[in-house]
Amino acid sequence: MKIGDVAEKSGVPAKTIRYYEEIGLILPAKRSDNGYRRYTEDDTQTLHFISRARGLGFSVEDCSNLLALYQDRERSSADVKAIALSNIGRIQHKIRELRAMEKTLSDLADRCHGDARPDCPILEDLSEFH
């Protein structure tokens, strides 16, 4: 398989696959005589794994760890769970932050009449010290 094929199958763009190779997240692909990268079904699996983990908010470094754990038949599920839990914590924290932002902004927008008049509670709030 060439890079375009594995890109389509795994859902990871060719550019991104080359990038993952460059940063060492995946092993350098073997090359054909013409210099093209060659891939197998296993590579498709690996890239899909990465794609799904990234979609769940794991960092590239997390992916590297998860991949190592995935390939280690001896690893304990506790190791994996620890990474997942710390990620859940970060996600929850981010959600709380965003909710606070949203609430403040919504309150301000509600109080702003939003017409041609220049007075605006949003700007007034931003310019005040709290």
Residues that bind DNA (CB under 7 A): 2-5, 7, 13-16, 18-20, 32-37, 54, 59-61
Residue 74 binds: one of DNA, a copy of itself, none (C-beta under 5 to 8 A by kind): a copy of itself
b/e string for 63-83 if b means 16 or more Cβ within 10 A? bbbbbeeeeeeeeeeeeeeeb
Nearer to DNA by Cβ, of 23 and 123: the residue is 23
Using CA atoms, how far apart are residues 46 and 27, in angstroms rounded to an integer? 11
Residue 4 binds: one of a copy of itself, DNA, none (C-beta under 5 to 8 A by kind): DNA
For the bound state, the minimum distance from the C-beta of residue 38 to DNA, rounded and expressed in Å, comes to 8
